[in-house]
Chain A
Amino acid sequence: MKEIRIHGRGGQGAVLAARMLASAFVAEGKYVASFPMYGFERRGAPVVAFTRVDDKPIREKTQIYNPDGILVIDPGLLTLPTLFTGVKPGAAFILNSPKKLVDQPNENIKIGGAVNATGIAVQEIGRDIPNTCLLGAFAAATGWLKLESILACLPDYLSGDILQRNLKSAERGYKEVEVTKW
């Protein structure tokens, strides 16, 4: 089982990203369970979304304390003291940032992926909604799922022009992520 934790703020699409990731894994025949935790339901407030994926049904319904993957949508959340608490050895870390990751953020993190998701989103979608771009980056950096699976499930959530733009954004995230390995 892989446990992925997504950190964002209300309005950035963290919750939707967790669900899209779940759908993409289901398209590959896996079992998934994904849910968010937030105190205040409003734009700007911190949101954490948890996605579990496995080859058998997932029964635990708890927050994720030992993530295999951490995806941070808002770089402002890097200052969170508990961001890397409990992260599993060999974990992956994907960050919305224009700069490639150099320093190993935590001794257990072995794969780092950085992509300017905000920049790409503004170019492709016209707004700072970096979630789909980061999903593409996640797939490329970790190799846990195919880009095709992400692109195939986006129509379940978006349609028309906005869908096309997000498909572009996801593809660019996949192609432009800069991966660092420690």
Chain B
Amino acid sequence: MKAKKGKVSVMTGNVVAANAARLCRPEVIACYPITPQSEVAETISGFVADGSLDSEIVEVEGENSAMNVVLAASVAGARTFTATSSYGLVYMYDAMLQASGYRVPVVMVNVNRETPGIQAVSSGQQDMISTRDSGWVQIIVENNQEIVDQIIMSYKLAEDFDIQLPVMVNYDGYYLSYLAEAVEMPDPADVDAFLADLKKQPQRPRLIPGASTGCGTHGMEMGYVEVRYKHWLALDRVKQKVDEIDKEFGAYFGRSYGGQIEEYRNSDADFTILASGSAAGTAKTVVDARREQGIKVGLVKQRLFRPFPEERLIKALKGKKAIGVIDRSVGFGWKYGPMCTELKAIAPAIGAPPILSYIDGLANLDITIPHIERVVDEVGAAAKGKAYQDVTWIPME
């Protein structure tokens, strides 16, 4: 490990995210406040105001403008940062599509909160799900330490010359955004060193005043198809890159998260639970408790949501006798939760075991330890050949 020990202090998730962004030295920031992200915008404005962050803040009147500003700044070659949630995320959707279409390395924090449909100021992953086809890289983190570490890794990923894609770092509103826990904030010099290699790369194309080059000016017929194809390939390259960057981060800072997925007590497990975000942390305690009772359950924490970590999931889940997927969101039009439906795409490759879908944790209603215990017990029974329910809405039961 090369980095020196960072300062440890008790910080809420939002303040952690703002500090992480500060460490990465974005040049342009446009951030509109929205619960449960407001502290991110407030804290980062404070850093610029007190001089601890040298960045251009563009004050905007809404999230759509916020994304347009960082997209434009990024096209002009700047490192950028923004943050939003729920209503804000969907308000900026058209600009988000442009950001990924133009292949600009914007890094955005999305604090997971339920989306409109019915007014909701509560925790849930529906906002991330609503934008899953935006062409962005989407990563989900489990705790506050992972927030800072993943934001740093996200700049390394987004600005990689082979990638050049915008990255969204998701963390649960309330459960992580307002959660105070001890976090080791890396030293600024170490973050600079970790990101230094990015400057050694060839310069990515950018707008230069007076020059004749432009981005997104041609999108007819095969031009459109070609850009989409290259984008699709880049997303595929993200998977291996996420694993590589995670290893590099681990070697440098001494903390590593498994890359695309984290396997917890999974290699010798008979059956596995798939979860993401803060619920994965809770699930780890249930796995430990059940293991004490001799039940061989494992957990796979899905960190990479887009692109879908197909190869790593196949390797982790092949041969498992049953899998339970906990979704903190709803898959409209599908019988199963979104992550469960996507997992089913690899069912043939992993031996077609029973895959049970659980929908829980919507609208600030907890994914509690008893809920996860129930999931483990039912998936365990399915692994033994007992009859099971395809999909369960835990709060409705």
Contact = CB atoms under 8 A, between A and B. Distances in A.
Interface of A: 15, 18-19, 22-23, 26, 31-37, 39, 41, 58-63, 65, 156
Interface stretch (B190-198, B248-256, B274-282, B376-384): B274-282
B174 A37 contact: yes
B369 A60 contact: yes
B317 interface: no
Contacts of A59: 143, 281-282, 284-285
Interface stretch (B96-104, B212-220, B360-368): B360-368
Contact of B181 (A15, A34, A62, A65): A34
Contacts of A41: 35, 121
B179 A34 contact: yes
Given A26-B10, A41-B35, A35 B282 contact: no
Given A32-B10, A34-B179, A65 B368 contact: yes
15 contacts: A15-B178, A23-B10, A26-B182, A35-B176, A35-B178, A35-B180, A41-B35, A59-B143, A59-B281, A60-B281, A61-B143, A61-B172, A61-B279, A61-B281, A62-B175
B174 A22 contact: no
Interface string B345-389: 000000000000000000010111100000000000000000000
A33 B174 CA distance: 12
B9 interface: yes
B39 to A, nearest CB: 12
Interface string B252-284: 000000000000000000000000001101101
Given A32-B182, A37-B174, A62 B369 contact: yes
B278 A61 contact: yes
A62 B9 contact: no
B285 A22 contact: no
Contacts, number: 70
B282 A33 contact: no
Given A37-B174, A39-B364, 11 more contacts: A23-B10, A23-B180, A32-B180, A35-B180, A41-B121, A59-B284, A61-B175, A61-B179, A61-B278, A62-B282, A156-B9
A63 B178 contact: no
A37 B36 CA distance: 11
Interface of B: 9-10, 12, 35, 121-122, 143, 172, 174-176, 178-182, 278-279, 281-282, 284-285, 364, 366-369
Given A32-B10, A41-B35, A156-B9, A61 B282 contact: yes
A19 B182 CA distance: 11
A22 B285 CA distance: 21
A26 B10 CA distance: 8
A92 to B, nearest CB: 21
B366 A36 contact: no
Contacts of A35: 12, 174-176, 178-180
B181 A32 contact: yes
Contacts of B176: 35, 61
A41 B122 CA distance: 12
Contacts of B9: 156
Contacts of A26: 10, 182
Contacts of A36: 174, 178
A37 B364 contact: yes
Most buried by A among B178, B282, B369: B178
B10 A19 contact: yes
A32 to B, nearest CB: 6
Nearest to B367: A62
A34 B179 CA distance: 5
Contacts of A18: 180
A39 B114 CA distance: 13
B182 A31 contact: yes
A34 B180 contact: yes
A33 B285 CA distance: 15
A120 B179 CA distance: 29
